[in-house]
């Protein structure tokens, strides 16, 4: 990120020198809870920037971090001594700080050059929590009031700061986040003794309650109660982050905590950060947690937020998510007695639990079957992943999947490792996918349809035997 800005650095006349900027940008990279979606802040006359729909241009790196925001620490000189943090008090690292005025000048100059679309601002705890929070508020107030900046701002809240400072900050920024960091009180005491769950949960609860009260006030005025309609008080809501793998908690405990925070604090997102050993400490693991575990947690989190799953359905408290299957397939394999379901009669809630059928696909199916009974060929046209779904559904009473949990599990595991299971490239030719699609869409009889589905299974088995998967 720093190299991207370096070329035009000396033309800006900014007060932040190159050395300090590099330290503060590098120190902010470990926070992933900076998604910039959800704000409706509109432009005002004479101002610059816009965070309304279409006003933010998202660009994400491979590890999921948004690069359309200037991600910066106000300071990395911390009085806390969290074991896992590279900016902890006892760390032997270069220290740097900037003033609110310097941050504002940098944001405006970068915005004018179209380098950024907004700001993610955090800080180590300098002197004490209130002192640090006051500097953060001063920065965002200068941006909003003096520079008339209407762009997106995400502010990292400081634990133990005065509640009045929390509320004031929430009226100037689009989103705030208080990071839980570790999933249990015992791990916090061990690895971050100066923090506690109350230092995070209490401010999150206060901000959530304030937002609800504003929504009720608006209901009295307009007759509608919407959390989105609470003016400029955290229009993009709250998020949090948990480090995965720095402490011994299992995925089940992490998901239960995430579920509780969604329900209690109306969080927009819980972000998961796979532990990377950047600090040498006997209390910390020497190996990184791995991106697959982080990926599985995001998949499970998606099921809870959009598919109606509860955490206890997905994984037990003392268990980790399967590395072999995605959470939805793993759940389906444990509940084979609920399948197959009939595509032409199953409810939306039931369809959402079928592997290979996403949220859009489920609603497409319900809308299309009002006009005619659906077949497997119809599902293919609707971009349903029939390779997975066929083991769990019938179309018009016809079943073309495999029977038995073990056989279905092998097929799903093999399918996940095929070329079609990887993320599609933005620049990859669509011709690669046409032959299979065309051969399926040209089916005329149920017999040829069945042969096609069976041939897919045979191809997976053949590839597995030859060691191609």
pLDDT block averages, 10 residues each, the chain of length 469: 49 69 81 59 68 46 58 91 86 90 92 85 93 96 94 91 95 92 90 89 94 84 57 85 92 96 93 85 85 94 95 93 94 96 96 95 95 95 93 95 92 73 49 41 46 47 39
What per-residue confidence (pLDDT) applies to 116? Answer: 84
Whole-prediction pTM: 0.80
Q: How many helices (H) and strands (E) does the chain have?
A: 18, 8
What per-residue confidence (pLDDT) applies to 229? Answer: 43
SS3 274: strand
Is residue 158 exposed (0-12), middle (13-18) or buried (19+ Cβ within 10 Å)? buried
What per-residue confidence (pLDDT) applies to 466? Answer: 40
**Which helix (H) or strand (E) covers residue 378, if one does?**
helix 376-381
Q: Which residues, at least 6 apart from 31, have a Cβ–Cβ distance to it below 8 Å?
A: 71, 120, 122, 156, 179, 241
What per-residue confidence (pLDDT) applies to 259? Answer: 96
What per-residue confidence (pLDDT) applies to 369? Answer: 95
What per-residue confidence (pLDDT) applies to 6? Answer: 52
């Amino acid at each position: 990120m720093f190299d991207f800005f370096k070329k035009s650095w000396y033309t800006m006349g900014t007060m932040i020198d190159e050395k300090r900027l590099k330290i503060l940008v590098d120190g902010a990279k470990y926070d992933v809870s900076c998604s910039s979606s959800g704000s409706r802040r509109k432009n005002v006359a004479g101002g610059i920037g816009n965070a309304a729909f279409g006003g933010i241009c998202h660009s994400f790196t491979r590890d999921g971090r948004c690069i359309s925001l200037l991600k910066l620490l106000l300071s990395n000189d911390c009085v806390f001594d969290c074991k896992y943090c590279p900016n902890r008090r006892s760390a032997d690292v270069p220290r740097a700080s900037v003033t609110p005025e310097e941050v504002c000048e940098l944001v405006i100059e970068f915005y004018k050059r179209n380098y950024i679309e907004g700001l993610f601002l955090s800080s180590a705890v300098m002197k004490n929590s209130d002192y640090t929070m006051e500097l953060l508020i001063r920065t965002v107030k200068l941006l909003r009031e003096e520079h008339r900046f209407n762009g997106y701002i995400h502010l990292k809240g400081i634990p133990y700061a005065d509640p009045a400072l929390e509320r004031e900050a929430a009226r100037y920024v689009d989103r705030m986040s208080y990071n839980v960091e570790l999933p249990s009180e015992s791990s916090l005491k061990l690895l971050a003794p100066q923090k506690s769950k109350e230092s995070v949960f209490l401010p999150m609860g206060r901000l959530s309650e304030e937002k609800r009260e504003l929504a009720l006030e608006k209901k009295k005025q307009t007759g509608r109660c919407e959390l989105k309609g609470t003016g400029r008080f955290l229009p993009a809501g709250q998020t949090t982050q948990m480090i995965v793998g720095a402490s011994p908690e299992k995925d089940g405990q992490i998901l239960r905590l995430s579920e509780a925070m969604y329900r209690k604090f109306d969080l927009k997102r819980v972000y998961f950060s796979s532990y990377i050993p950047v600090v040498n400490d006997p209390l910390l693991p020497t190996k990184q947690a791995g991106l697959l575990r982080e990926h599985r947690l995001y998949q499970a989190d998606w099921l809870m937020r959009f598919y109606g799953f509860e955490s206890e359905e997905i994984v037990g408290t003392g268990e980790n998510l399967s590395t072999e299957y995605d959470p939805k397939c793993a759940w389906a394999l444990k509940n084979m007695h609920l399948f197959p379901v009939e595509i032409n009669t199953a409810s939306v809630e039931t369809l959402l639990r079928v592997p290979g059928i996403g949220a859009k696909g489920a609603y497409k199916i319900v809308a299309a079957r009002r006009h005619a009974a659906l077949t497997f060929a119809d599902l293919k046209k609707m971009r349903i992943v029939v390779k997975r779904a066929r083991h769990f559904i019938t179309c018009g009473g016809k079943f073309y999947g495999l029977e038995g949990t073990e056989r279905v599990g092998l097929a799903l595991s093999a399918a996940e490792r095929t070329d079609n299971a990887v993320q599609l490239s933005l620049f990859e030719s669509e011709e690669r996918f046409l032959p299979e699609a065309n051969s399926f869409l040209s089916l005329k009889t149920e017999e040829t349809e069945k042969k096609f589905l069976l041939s897919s299974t045979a191809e997976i088995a053949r590839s597995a035997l030859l060691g191609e998967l």
